Chains A and B, each alone.
Chain A
């Protein structure tokens, strides 16, 4: 049973557009939600994260919007660049042993 779900599976946007990646979860005890970015041939790396006490987290062109009531969150990438082309994973944790549960990922392609 997948505890974290992501959509779409793949997304293509033009350079300069805003990419929106969606994520939902089931376990109401989850309180920490990071997004990881993975380039081909590399391991995932932390991009941005949010805790359940907040509804928005911004870091440059990357923003997380969090809706605790609906158990949904989204990652917005504004002014998308070709260098943003990567697979993005949403994850969730209840802080128990730092275990992260990952979604299946969204492969983002930014066309120049």
Chain B
């Protein structure tokens, strides 16, 4: 039973449009993260949160916003999607003991 669920699993968006990626966890974890995966770059941290109603910038936050309305939910928002944001996005949760539990990913294509 998946404890970190991402939706949608794939999405095609138009340049300049708004995109919202959602993540829901049932692990009862305080920490949640959004990573981006590109070939040759591995996983890069976009935003993270260690408590509801608070978010922090990661290494590559430009062009992305995050929202943590509850412990269980963490969203990634692209206000004006661009071609360079085509990638696979992973959400993860953690209980603060170092191990991250990842979702299955969302494949985003911006055309």
Q: A interface vs B, CB < 8 Å?
A: 4, 6, 9, 32, 34, 41-46, 49, 89, 93, 95, 97-105
For the residues of B in contact with A, the DSSP-based class is strand
Q: Which residues of A sit under 8 angstroms from B56, Cβ to Cβ?
A: 97
Query: What is the minimal beta-carbon distance from A1 to any residue of chain B, in angstroms?
Result: 9
Closest 10 CB pairs of A and B: A43-B102, A104-B42, A102-B43, A102-B42, A98-B94, A105-B42, A98-B31, A46-B99, A44-B102, A103-B42
Determine, out of B12-20, B44-52, B62-70, B71-79, the stretch whose residues face the partner at the interface: B44-52
Residue of B nearest to A42 (CB): B104
Residues on B with beta carbons closer than 8 Å to the beta carbon of A102: 35, 42-44
**Is B83 part of the contact surface with A, judged by Cβ < 8 Å?**
no
Interfacial residues of chain B within 52-105, with CB under 8 A of chain A in the complex: 56, 58-59, 90, 92, 94, 96-100, 102-105
Tell me how many residue pairs across A and B have CB atoms closer than 8 Å: 59
In the complex the two chains form, is B96's CB within 8 Å of A89's CB?
A: no
**17 further interface pairs, Cβ-Cβ under 8 Å (given A9-B40, A97-B56):** A6-B42, A32-B98, A34-B98, A42-B105, A43-B90, A43-B103, A43-B104, A44-B102, A45-B102, A49-B99, A93-B98, A97-B31, A98-B31, A99-B48, A99-B58, A102-B35, A103-B42
Q: Which residues of A contact B90 (CB under 8 A)?
A: 43-44
Contact A98 B45 (CB under 8 A): no
Q: Is the interface of A mostly helix, strand, loop or mixed?
A: loop
CB distance from B52 to the nearest CB of A (A): 15
Give A15 Cβ to nearest chain B Cβ, in Å.
Answer: 26
